[in-house]
Structure 1
Amino acid sequence: MKTTVTLAATVLIASSFLAGCATPHQPSNNSQNYPQPSSQGYNNQQGYNTQYGVIDSIQVSRASNSGGIGAGSVIGGLVGGLLGNQVGGGTGRAVATAAGVVGGAVVGNQVEQNRSAGREVYQVNVRLDSGQYESITLDNVNDLRVGNRVRVENGRVYRY
């Protein structure tokens, strides 16, 4: 009975951490939240926040680590808590569970940082038809090249 309660408490704490990691969609600072009216005489409202333009530049950079609590920390803490719960009895079990959660979170965070270190991302700068510039960060540019006519829709870039 006590093991079930401790396990349920560990799962509840881990799910609380997961809920705290969720971030709502935040539009780019360089774009407007509504579609631009079309001056070309055709309907460009294929999706929410659709804009058209030309790729001005593509820059390669390294992904930066956010330093926050990520999935690695949460999963590591959960696994560490479950393993720590298997050790000892009574107060010793509670201490081992807490130490397992903290130790697992630290190890999981380090593994996540090592995995994402050195990952290349592409910053695509688009000159929109409205005259504004928008910068979009992508994991892969596929067939996008400087000078391509593109559609920017919901933070993604598509050839047009």
Structure 2
Amino acid sequence: MKSKSFKFGAVAAVLIAVAALSGCQTQPTTYQTSYGYQGCQNCGVVQQVQQIYIQQQGSNNSGLGTVLGAVAGGLLGSTVGHGRGNTAAIVGGAVIGGVVGNKVGQANSQPAGTTPAWQIVVRMDNGQYATVTQVPNPGVRPGDYVVISNNQVYPR
């Protein structure tokens, strides 16, 4: 009984730590120039927003489907017969399971293609330019004041 309460306590401690850290958010770093202007290192004004298309690699699940199907077929085949009949059932189940799993994996694969993305040019507070390409629509327009965080543009 002691091990169950230890496991529960450990899980509870991990969940509390995750909850505490998930509320943490770093604020943009500010700086002061020689003429008194206080700016933000990661902030700037949007100069241009352009929708583009980026290449997306497809996913191929046929290999995984083959392996999972062969294992499942082999396990099911092991429940049939005795001796040599059992061995034949295991091999046959694995082969048939592999073929079926391959077909299921191919059906669930995604083809390669293009994904809409947005390219945002930002004139940073320090005078430099930054170009960010991101998949989620940032919802900003030229002239908007934004912050760049984790290679994403957010309205400020």
Q: TM-score, normalised by structure 2?
A: 0.52
> Does the aligned pair in 1 maintain the 2:52–2:119 contact within 8 Å?
yes
Gaps of 5+ in 2: 1-27, 78-88
Cα distance in 1 between the residues matched to 2:69 and 2:98? 10
- Unaligned 5+ runs, structure 1: 1-34, 45-49
Once the two structures are superposed, the pairs formed by residues 6-155 of structure 1 within 5 Å of their partners are 38-39=31-32, 40-41=37-38, 44=40, 51-67=42-58, 70=59, 73-74=60-61, 85-86=72-73, 89-109=89-109, 112-113=110-111, 117=113, 119-130=115-126, 131-142=128-139, 144-155=140-151
What SS is found at the alignment partner of 2:31?
coil
Distance 2:146 2:46 in 1: 7
Higher strand share: 2
Counterpart contact for 1:78–1:104, Cα < 8 Å: no
Q: Provide, for residues 59-86 of structure 1, a one-character-per-residue CA deviation record: whole Å limited to 9, x for no partner.
A: 112242224xx4xx44x66666556635
Q: Percent identity?
A: 21
Task: Measure the CA separation in 2 of the matches of 1:95 and 1:80.
Answer: 9
Distance 1:94 1:77, change over 3 A: same
Q: Name the larger-Rg structure.
A: 2
Q: How many residues align?
A: 110
Name the CA distance, whole Å, in 1 between partners of 2:99 and 2:54.
31
SS of the counterpart of 2:42? strand
User: How many Å apart are 1:146 and its aligned residue?
Assistant: 1.0
> Over the residues paired in the alignment, what is the CA RMSD in angstroms?
3.2
